[in-house]
Structure 1
Amino acid sequence: MEVLYGLHPVEEAIRSGARALDHVSVARDRRDEKLDRLIELCRSAGIRVTHESRDTLTKLARTDMHQGVLAMVRERKFLAIEDLMAPEKDGHRFFLALDGVEDPHNLGALLRTAEGAGVDGVILPERRSAPITATVAKTSAGASEHVKVARVTNLVRSLEQLKQKNVWVLGLDERGTPDYTDFDFKTDCVLVLGREGAGLHDLVKKTCDHLLRIPMAGKVSSLNVSVAGAIVMYEAMRQRRESAAPPPAPMPPKKRKGLGS
């Protein structure tokens, strides 16, 4: 069993149904509408609710950032690359791969953005990567419970597998070209983000079909990885939504008034 804490992570774990919950514990001294709704959600889902002291919840969560809500959940089962490609989908696929993101807050922020931007799956290496912990779930506001995540032993080999399936591999690099806004995301592709501060590993960079850059107008040369990832993911979503939207209906011609009317 794993510990999950925070109102939104626990609520989203129940809603997603991806993992079985043993029980949910809430602080005895917390009374508000949000907590009442969570307790009602637990009852509807047949999940046992216990009332504990805040000190007990803090000991179980190993932090006082639990907001008076904690759940015991089954360990997450990760997918394989084949699982991400298996479901049929109308339109093009868009994946996110992380090459050595080790800060749990960055990982949580990226998973939250990936879920919001409609990413079809996230690829994480088993080594040199932050695990999906309760801190990641809390930072993602529960989005980590909805995102499909594949854990792979060799990221380069997995990217090569995607290339064999006609998926373009796009690295984000401050020295890359073209700008991310100049790339056509209306195709099957995977966006690869590198380590905090150091960027992509050399072998991963060589595996990429294109290296995109975010133009910088200030004196710093790059952005935080979670911010940079969010910018590109939402540009990809914008392009895809525009291509999928029906063309606007033509405006009716205006009636012209003649002279003297």
Structure 2
Amino acid sequence: MQAALDAPSSRVIEVWLADARHDQRVKAIAESADRLGLKTHAVEREQLDELLPDKIHQGCIARCKPLEALGEIELGMLLDDLEQQPLLLILDGVQDPHNLGACLRTAEAAGAHAVIAPKDRASGLTATAIKISSGSAERLPFFQVTNLARVLRELQQRGIWIIGTSGESEQSLYQSGLTGPVAIVLGAEGKGIRRLTREHCDEVVFIPMQGQTESLNVSVAAGVCLYEAYRQRLL
């Protein structure tokens, strides 16, 4: 909730807090809500349980406007305004909102500038994805696009190198240069990136693995790839 209150354009409309909680975290939430001029209710925990039955609320509930994904026009504006070499994460067909939320969290931590996904057959910013992101969904731009292949071509026209991932590739991630403008493409577990998406990649790499594991969870793969880019950019 604190991330939603601290966002540049807060989505929070109203706040309910358990009157039995007096810790620093709740105090900070109350102060942020007051600073934004929001209505805050101190109620018994049982009332919170009634507002969100079968949910873990930890003594804090907020009524918010929906967090909506951005589109291709906003993506162009973001890239126009960037003063750094773009580092983008593209998720091709990731349908599990838990994985989307984890990818958003990882991408923000690794310094990515945005996460891009198709609108069809892919998870959007559901309540689950937002919760799993631990506040990253409020801070890291997330774009859902109608035609991913077209967006890949537009990124290439901007000089952004598109790097796909596939266990069938012969080139390791660690042989790839990630210091320039880069978009890393990951697919859903078990399926990988789609054929058309792969055809639009400038380069396809694999993540080296030991043991008998055939694939990584997409959020883990995102962490490996993005942190390799982060490492290279620090050199």
* TM-score for both structures, normalised by structure 2: 0.91
Cα-Cα RMSD: 1.8
CA distance in 1, matches of 2:54, 2:127: 10
Among 70, 89, 100, the residue aligned to 1:96: 89
How many Å separate the matches in 1 of 2:21 and 2:15?
A: 14
Query: Would you say the 8 A contact 2:92–2:117 is kept in 1?
Result: yes
- 2:28 is matched with 37
Q: Secondary structure of the equivalent of 1:101?
A: coil
Q: CA deviation at 1:76?
A: 2.5
Tell whether 2:205 aligns with 1:212. Answer: yes
Deviation at 1:56, TM superposition (A): 4.3
In terms of Rg, which structure is larger?
1
What amino acid is aligned across from residue 30 of structure 2 in structure 1? I
* Residues 186, 35 of structure 1: alpha-carbon distance in 2 compared, 3 angstrom cutoff: same
Q: Which whole-Å deviations, capped at 9, do the CAs of 1:70-103 have from their partners, x for residues lacking one?
A: 2122222432234233343333111111111111
Judging changes above 3 Å, is the alpha-carbon distance between structure 1 residues 179 and 138 closer, same or farther for their aligned structure 2 residues? same
Offset at 1:175?
Answer: 1.4
SS of 2:62's equivalent in the other structure is strand
Q: Is the 8 A contact 2:117 2:148 kept in 1?
A: yes
* CA shift in 2, pair 1:112/1:63, >3 Å: farther
User: Is the 8 Å Cα contact of residues 11 and 67 (structure 2) preserved in structure 1?
Assistant: no
Q: Is the 8 A contact 1:27 1:54 kept in 2?
A: yes
State the partner residue of 1:133.
126
Which residue is equivalent to 1:181?
A: 174
Q: Distance in 1 between matches of 2:202 and 2:54?
A: 43
Alignment map for 1:1-261 (pairs within 5 Å): 10-58=1-49, 60-61=51-52, 63-86=54-77, 87-242=80-235
What secondary structure is seen at the aligned counterpart in 2 of 1:193? Answer: strand
Structure 2: state its 5+ residue gaps: none
Mapped to 2, the partners of 1:117 and 1:108 lie a distance apart of 14
1:129-163 residue CA offsets vs partner (Å, 9 max, x unmatched): 11212211221111110011111111112111111
Q: How many residues align?
A: 233
**Percent sequence identity over matched residues?**
35
Larger CA deviation: 233-242 vs 85-94:
85-94
State the TM-score, normalizing by the size of structure 1. Answer: 0.83
Q: By how many angstroms is 1:59 displaced? A: 5.0
- 1:67 CA drift (Å): 1.5
Q: Letter of the aligned partner of 2:69 in structure 1?
A: F
Deviation at 1:53, TM superposition (A): 4.3
Secondary structure at 1:110's aligned position in 2? helix
2:81 aligned counterpart, secondary structure: coil
Using a 3 Å threshold, how does the CA distance of structure 1 residues 52 and 160 change in structure 2: closer, same or farther? Answer: farther
Q: Which amino acid aligns with 1:156?
A: A
In structure 2, the residue corresponding to 1:220 is in which secondary structure?
A: coil
Counterparts in 2 of 1:47 and 1:17: CA distance versus 1, 3 Å: farther
Give the letter for the 2:156 counterpart: K
